[in-house]
Amino acid sequence: MAAPRNSSRTFYRRGPEHRFGEIINFADIRKRYDFRSIEIGRWVTRDENEQAAAHFYDALGDLMTILNGPEALISLRGTLAFQYGIGGRPGVAAHYTPSTRCFSLAKNAVPGSIAHEWFHALDHYLADKCFGDAPKGMFASKAWLHDATPVPHPLNDCLFACFKAIMLDQSGEGPSELCRASMAMDRQLNGLYYSLPEEMCARAFEAFVQDQPIRNHFLVKGSRSSKEARLGLFPQGEQRQRVHQAFRDYFDLLGTGLKRICHHV
């Protein structure tokens, strides 16, 4: 889950036009991306609904463009549900719930949480497609780290290359700089969060998305100059470049495959 990083309601965006002057609501978002369901909290006003829907629509459009995929990728082929302004947690801007396959955004969510939580949803969605014996509810990243039995497929090989670039050093034998920094932070906090494979991979994905020419701080921010970034909790330097290339290779292949499937449906 992602914690709020800025209390400001304004944010920076540089990207293509998606709404073309139209007023967008969450029903439009569900229709375009084929989300399994979208629920809006009873205390969300009409103005809040419109503002959040516009920001979310732009963020999802930017993410789809960055990943070079179709709408079906964003909703994970219609399996992902979305909630806005329902069941918020104190201090949490957004979270993904594996048991319900639901992405939730707090009513007063600040920019920067969407890429992180969306990757959690993807990571969870892929587990039983990448591994023949991954326990129900496990993330693909955790299954990979725990040596689950892989399902042979070129796409899976590309995803495993992402996990390797994120969690292992260049030799492939020891922990990466990101992994070491994450374990050090967990030791300092006497807990287990930053070094969870699914959390390291979600933060690495944030860095990948933020490094693209399209910039959207409602989608992602903080992987470069935040306190977490300064502590090494996002990929840095040469490792960041390796992670970037691994994700690019994976999403280009995934997007091409999904576009071909969608075109023939």
**Number of domains the chain contains:** 1
In a domain, 247, yes or no: yes
In tens digits, the chain (265 residues) has pLDDT values of: 443 333 335 678 999 999 998 999 999 999 999 999 999 998 888 888 888 899 999 999 999 999 999 999 999 999 999 999 886 565 667 889 999 999 998 887 667 889 999 999 999 999 999 999 999 889 999 999 999 999 999 999 999 999 999 999 999 999 999 999 999 999 999 999 999 999 999 999 999 999 999 999 999 999 998 999 999 999 999 999 999 999 999 999 999 999 888 765 5
Q: What is the pLDDT of residue 9?
A: 56
How far apart CA 66 and CA 185 sit, in angstroms, is 30
DSSP β-ladder status, 94-97 and 37-40: unpaired
Which residues span the domain enclosing 90? 16-264
In a domain, 3, yes or no: no
Q: What is the pLDDT of residue 111?
A: 72
In a domain, 32, yes or no: yes
How wide is the angle at C-alpha 75 spanned by C-alphas 107 and 256, nearest 5°?
140
In a domain, 1, yes or no: no
How far apart CA 251 and CA 261 sit, in angstroms, is 15
Hey, how many other C-beta atoms are within 10 angstroms of the C-beta on 70? 18
How far apart CA 59 and CA 199 sit, in angstroms, is 21
Which alpha helices (DSSP H) does the chain contain, by range? 26-33, 46-67, 71-74, 114-130, 140-145, 154-167, 177-189, 197-210, 227-230, 237-264
In a domain, 147, yes or no: yes
In a domain, 2, yes or no: no
Q: What is the pLDDT of residue 100?
A: 95
Q: 64: number of CA atoms within 13 Å, CB side? A: 20
Angle between the 154-167 and 177-189 helix axes, to the nearest 10 degrees? Answer: 60
Of 265, 260, 264, which is closest to residue 70 (Cα–Cα)? 260
C-beta of residue 75 within 8 angstroms of C-beta of residue 35: yes
In a domain, 46, yes or no: yes
In a domain, 20, yes or no: yes
Q: 134: number of CA atoms within 13 Å, CB side? A: 23
Query: What pTM was computed for the model?
Result: 0.93
DSSP result, 219-257? T---TTTSHHHHTT-S--HHHHHHHHHHHHHHHHHHHHH
